[in-house]
Structure 1
Amino acid sequence: MAVKDVVSKFNYYQQVRLLLRKLRRSHSSDAILLNEKFQITSTLSLDSPNGQVESIYQNENDTTIHMVVSHNGLTGTMGALPVAYSEWMIERYYRYSDCSAKAFISIFDHRLYCLDYLTWQKHYPCALFESQAKQPTETALLAINGMLTNNSPKQFIYASLFTLSVRSVVNLECWLEAMYGISAKVIPFTGGWRYVKKDECCQLGNPQQKLSTAPMIGSVRIETQSHFDVILGPVFQKESYIFFQQRSLLEEIWENIRYYVGPALDFTIYLSINSTGFTSPPLGKHLLGRDLYIGSPSHSKQYLVKLPAPKI
């Protein structure tokens, strides 16, 4: 049995906090660590307690840390049970070597001490900060900016771009450039065809859908303000392959733009490709419109390729 030093003898919570700090090498929560790595029980002694933590030890070939505590608990001088229970357990333990009664009480002792520490931890930011992978301040800022539901770990860096009540084009360009390391340009009001609801369309022979109440003739209309274009680049020819080969990257860009502008606006993403120093490959090896020319290439070394919308 290896006896460990009691660093905080008069404060049970600080002692557990210091031990947890050494054990937080995995991604397990404090509740799991307390349940798997600790065995906290109340003392059987009826002597006047000298502090809240009596002893800490660890058996050989056992990773569990045993703590004997005189703070609260069920047995001992400060225990919740009457003294007669502690006296009876002391007699059974030391005279007859019967540990069953104390082992049964220790089940509830350990659970009470774990819940007691977790409750204390919630009310002390210094201890709560150490136990969480995400900082409480970061969580609060993301919640204020409406970004708490986004699972990307990078979002906190760009939280300042979301603080304004109006989502601007400049902030969207800055966000895309910082996220993906590529220049971005947003062209607003490019227009697009949108389907019209049936109750807004005029229907011949239907007195409920007259031209005076349903002014639309046709099922689609063009709206200039409901569509914009996003141009990424320019990038070199070889660097552009990643946008076509990795669907996950294209889906991520699409989801981020949709998250920024909301569901009301439509957009199209174009990739500006610089083909300087690139020779057309033979037929059958590459794709037309991406890195394959028919005839002689144009004098312009930059061209736009429309990226397909992913099925999300």
Structure 2
Amino acid sequence: MNKRVSKLPPDYWLNLAEYPYDHSFYQVMRYLDAKLQLRKPIGRNISPTHEPFRMRQEPSMIFAPSNLTRVDIHDNGRPPTISILGFGLWGPNGPLPLHLTEYAKERIYHHRDKTLSAFSDIFHHRLITLFYRAWADAQNTVGMDLPNSPFKKYVGSFIGLGNRKAILNDSIPDSAKLYFAGHLLRQTRNPEGLIQILRRYFDVPVRIKEYIPQWIFIDKSERSTLNGTVALGENCIIGAQVKDVQHKFRIQIGPIDRKKFESFFPGTKNAKQLIEWVRLYIGYELAWDVQLILLDKYRGQTRLGKNALLGLSSFSGKNERKTDDFDELFIDYEARDRNKRHQDAIISTLFQSDSEDEGEGEGIGASNPKSESKPKNESGSEGKSDLEGKGETKSASDPDSKGNGDSTS
């Protein structure tokens, strides 16, 4: 038997040969297409030798009672042969005259001559496999397990993800993006669409609160000064920041249990995917944060020896509020990410400057009195680094914080 066919379960072929009427033509072809792992899908190979089976039509005048009529398994190394009735050149549904079908059948049963039937099977194999491929390409669920499924490209093109490289850019599965293509293809991105995406994907209660106040910092070059061209009541702004309520919203997740509550902490898989979903849906135009709501029965006091994160999952004292659920945790993922990148850049600059000072030494082990002096900040004062000057952080549970994020101490 063919080596590729031998990888299939032996019982499958025996059962198929013994009870061909119990199997559907499309089911058999789909099974072979998935299990054989050919170079190309069935119907797209250049030569029939690349497909380790043969399709043929049985010359008959009867109307097909089922898709398959017989399956022959050969022991001399020849590929198995699958015979059908309903599609081909012969029979009452075929394009050839009926007397040719009668003639081919007569040569087989009375003269044991299969020449005419075998000659037509050369074309039948190609016709039947092409017929199956046309059906499979039109069915969206048939080729989903193939690496180059055309259906994924068709749906992905509606939401700008038709390119294979673009659709594999983040941690969100491709199937999830295609599933929510109905929400992503709309030009108007309303809150209800984002709620449905997050609720179905993370399986948690989700609400969105709009018009969240925030302070927008004004760049020094854009602030109003005495020598600037500003007019009172028009474009004059007093201070370094302005209050805004139009460009920020809040995603409320909960009430949820302790396990799901901790799964949205910064740095987790759910937190990363949540950021990617929001960016995919609204882009970078609006500011947003997340309010995690924990069921009251899952809240416990922090004790020594227990895992707890300060500002995230640590609790002290008793709950004196009227509400039953804990809803005082607010996380601004993007602000935390910006602060982390800023601190990493400062640390990288400090290490680079230290390495340059060490390189100016006279040799290995030689002391450099300049390198032993305390680092100076921009104002020239000693004893404080840039990190210490910008190290003030806000509590994660303070929604009215004027800082850039909710990073914890």
Query: Which TM-score tier does this pair reach, normalised by the shorter chain?
Result: 0.5 to 0.7
Answer yes or no: is 1:241 the counterpart of 2:267.
no
**Structure-1 residue corresponding to 2:337:** 311
**Structure-2 residue corresponding to 1:210:** 229
TM-score normalised by length of structure 2: 0.43
Write the distance in 1 (CA, Å) between the matches of 2:149 and 2:198.
Answer: 25
Matched-pair contact (CA < 8 Å) for 2:211–2:248: yes
**Structure-1 residue corresponding to 2:198:** 176
Listed as ranges, the gaps of 5+ residues in structure 2 are 6-27, 52-73, 80-125, 339-409
Partner secondary structure for residue 295 of structure 1: coil
Matched-pair contact (CA < 8 Å) for 2:288–2:332: no
Larger relative strand fraction:
1
**Structure-1 residue corresponding to 2:242:** 221
Answer yes or no: is 1:145 the counterpart of 2:167.
no
Query: Where do 1:279-298 residues align within 5 Å?
Result: 279-283=300-304, 285=306, 286-298=308-320
Answer yes or no: is 1:186 the counterpart of 2:196.
no
| 1:6-28 residue CA offsets vs partner (Å, 9 max, x unmatched) | xxxxxxxxxxxx99983654877
Q: Given the alignment, which residue of 196, 212, 219 partners 2:218?
A: 196
Matched-pair contact (CA < 8 Å) for 2:206–2:253: yes
Query: In structure 1, what residue type is equivalent to 2:331?
Result: L
Write the distance in 2 (CA, Å) between the matches of 1:128 and 1:23.
Answer: 13
Query: In structure 1, what residue type is equivalent to 2:159?
Result: N
Task: Indicate the RMSD between aligned Cα atoms, in angstroms.
Answer: 4.3
Write the distance in 1 (CA, Å) between the matches of 2:185 and 2:50.
Answer: 47
Write the distance in 1 (CA, Å) between the matches of 2:29 and 2:326.
Answer: 61
Write the distance in 2 (CA, Å) between the matches of 1:193 and 1:267.
Answer: 13
Partner secondary structure for residue 311 of structure 1: helix
Query: In structure 2, what residue type is equivalent to 1:177?
Result: R
Write the distance in 1 (CA, Å) between the matches of 2:297 and 2:313.
Answer: 12
**Structure-1 residue corresponding to 2:389:** none
Query: In structure 2, what residue type is equivalent to 1:307?
Result: I
Partner secondary structure for residue 276 of structure 1: helix
Matched-pair contact (CA < 8 Å) for 1:201–1:214: no
1:185–1:19 Cα change, 3 Å: closer
Matched-pair contact (CA < 8 Å) for 2:263–2:269: no
Larger RCO (CA within 8 A; separation ≥ 6):
1
Answer yes or no: is 1:302 the counterpart of 2:325.
yes
Partner secondary structure for residue 294 of structure 1: coil
1:250–1:38 Cα change, 3 Å: farther
How far is the alpha carbon of 1:257 from its aligned partner?
1.1
**Structure-2 residue corresponding to 1:72:** none
Matched-pair contact (CA < 8 Å) for 1:280–1:292: yes
Write the distance in 2 (CA, Å) between the matches of 1:194 and 1:269.
Answer: 18
| 1:234-260 residue CA offsets vs partner (Å, 9 max, x unmatched) | 012344222238612111111101211
How far is the alpha carbon of 1:306 from its aligned partner?
1.9
TM-score normalised by length of structure 1: 0.55
| 1:168-213 residue CA offsets vs partner (Å, 9 max, x unmatched) | 11111111101110010100110222233566433443xxx41149
Query: Where do 1:32-111 residues align within 5 Å?
Result: none
Query: In structure 2, what residue type is equivalent to 1:266?
Result: A
Q: Given the alignment, which residue of 267, 279, 285 partners 2:288?
A: 267
Query: In structure 2, what residue type is equivalent to 1:175?
Result: I
The count of corresponding residues between Structure 1 and Structure 2 is 221
1:260–1:236 Cα change, 3 Å: same
Write the distance in 1 (CA, Å) between the matches of 2:283 and 2:254.
Answer: 24
Matched-pair contact (CA < 8 Å) for 1:186–1:230: yes
How far is the alpha carbon of 1:268 from its aligned partner?
0.4
Write the distance in 1 (CA, Å) between the matches of 2:191 and 2:246.
Answer: 13
**Structure-1 residue corresponding to 2:40:** 30
Query: In structure 1, what residue type is equivalent to 2:183?
Result: L
**Structure-1 residue corresponding to 2:181:** 159
1:195–1:125 Cα change, 3 Å: farther
Write the distance in 2 (CA, Å) between the matches of 1:269 and 1:277.
Answer: 19
